[in-house]
Structure 1
Amino acid sequence: IDYDSLSYVQTPPDSLFCPVCRALLTTPLQTKMCNHVFCARCISRALSDKLECPIDRTPMRRGMEDCSPAPRLLESLVDELLVYCPFKVHGCPVTVSRGLLKYHIRDACDYVLVPCANPQCDKFSFRKDIAAITDTADSALDELDDKLTCAHTTTVCEHCGDEVLESAKESHLDECSALSHTCTYCTSEFSAVDMAGHRLICLEEPVNCSAHSLGCTWHEKRIAQPAHEASCIFNSLRPYLAAQDAKLAALQLENASLRERVTAFEQLPINQGIEPVLEISSEYERDRAYLFQQLEQTGTHIENLSNAIASLETRQAHVMMNESLRNKDELAMLRGGLQAMRLQFHHFLQQTR
């Protein structure tokens, strides 16, 4: 069943939708740290990309281990939503709760394609068109051959000569063009095809007032219906009463939902509300211890760097001091040599005079 494509009788509340896929929750899981709820497949896919909550980025370092099943009440609310049968397009008029839909399709829906009851036929047909009951596993094989009739066997209509399916033989009589029917009320004759349309407009047929569901007891020929409805007090109040009925139905549905929630809460154990809080508190304690450990390691690294920098500065000062002393000695030697050259040059000048 493709649950994402189901049509709902009433629009579900936003709180029942997954914040990732924006579809109704399927196998809901709840994060232990921040209590957000997601579909199991959605949170699994999100955590495979990044270990954090998709909504508030809360770290989830243990992945799926940081998730737990959502409260059973939430899944019950989703399962109790009324949906239309997926085979409504084929004619199924049933509305059923979401949780019972798979059983309706498996066991009861008349518009599901099922194998033909005849074991020699490999075709499929609607369940309603299968002539024999399929639950005959305990029957003898000879009885099975006698009872089962292939739904795809064709026959010829004895009135119009058209070829029709055996399973549709009786319904064909209602629309056979060769048969004529007499109207019970006006005694006019029509073909089977036209009779259905005539019944909708026959002026002699007794009908109820259009406000019959509101309490009007008028039941006369259709020809007198317009004059009656023009003066019918129930008919004039019908728009207002219909609006009130819609509001009442909505309130009854809301009241039933609230009663179910209260009942579910009353059945919960008293200490169930504190256990998630204690679990979350322990998670925070583990995170705080982890952060303290990281801070201590960072402080140790900073202290080691400070010691290394101080040692480097000391070595650099010694190197500069040694280099300065060597430069000072070389400068003294240069000054001594320059003084000796000056004395020799002065002595040379005195001799030349």
Structure 2
Amino acid sequence: MPPPNTPEEGLASPPTTATLALRPITRDLEMTAASPPAVAAIPAVDLRALEYEGNVDENLICPICRVALVAPVITNCDHVFCQKCLVQAHTLNPVCPVDRQPLLKLSAETRPAPKLVANQLDNLTVRCPNRPRGCDLVVARSLVENHVSRYCDKTLVPCPHPSCDKTIARKDVGKGCLHYEASCEFCEQAVQKADLETHRDMECPNRKKDCELCGAEFVRSKQEDHTNECPEVEVTCKFAPFGCHRKMSRRHMGEHCERCDYRVVGPVGEQLAELRAEMTALKEKDRLKDRRIKFLENRGYSAPAATEHMSDISLPGAPAAPETAPYESRDQYFLSLFETMESKVERLSSALSEVEGRHTMMLFNETMPLKDQLTEIRSTLGVLGMHVRWLMNFRLQERGRVLGGSGSPSMPGSMGTNQEGSSDSNLPRRLSDNMREHPRGYDQTDDDQERRKN
């Protein structure tokens, strides 16, 4: 499938909400009155009839039609309306529908709504208009027109037969003209072949059937879907590729898988399956690369200069036939490359964020031991400073004793030193000092007797 929002060659893309909002109102009126009705192969999507997913903000509701704004315009009195709603209301009464202020000329007194309002409207999620025919896609409102006009397989398109003026679903275009009568296999009623599937699913009186195993009622044409969900259908164990041969009903298989003897090798098998899937994806990339090269050569386009950097870009949805070009135009091809590179940039951004987080943790783990070492060094320096101060005090005490015992006159500085020494001598002495001055074997009484004789 080509990338979304890619205009085809020779066809104009359908107008978006922002494009409609930028057109002047007077020009829109002139085009509506003067231009002849165009023959559209696919009818345009009515944005007012869309079914929104969830509740729409009240600020995005048009005060006139009470649905989400379409091509919003804002008046000089700061009220927002749908463009067509305001034009219709102005033809009846040239005043603002909210505060009744006069609006003499719409082109001069109105302007497109701010881009923020248009972006909020484009981001609203809506259901596909072909939901009654079986399309369950939920898409942004800005992409619903492109989806319906180009990609939805339930959209009604003109019959490919040149002499048939009816419509068929897009998914049946390759089957040729289906507007002939066929018999329903369930009720044997004659209906057109194009409507046979809808008849079997919605209108056939015998379309429903009771399951022989579980008794549940299902549509006959959806029997295969019911078989894949029926709880009484006998299935094989999910570890059958690894050697388990047990078969039982689907509702009992869950209990068996929890205690299956082969569940131990299940993770290894899953890894092998992932490796096989990666190998298949790489082969598909290589095949698409060769097809892109052939496509560029056949169309006469010069390959990009950075082909070696784009060779690993996967282009999903390319046709399977190798003889046909994977894209209808050069613009589609390069736009697909751009979107793929944009997704790659997003993945690289997330990878860089993850790497940054890892580096932060590594720096944190490396700085923690450094902080512990710094704390230990600070504590060691504190202990060394304490010892140095104690040694300095001890040195000052020794100098004070020497000066006090000599009795020689001293200078004022020495007097201060004596005073300091005398003051320090009154301090309690440590046991280590006494042991240093009086080693073992020294008798204090001998020292006292010698002092009395003198």
Range of TM-score over shorter length: 0.3 to 0.5
The structure showing larger relative contact order (alpha-carbon pairs under 8 Å, at least 6 residues apart) is: 2
Under a length normalisation based on structure 1, what TM-score does the superposition of the two structures give? 0.42
Q: What is the TM-score with the length of structure 2 in the denominator?
A: 0.34
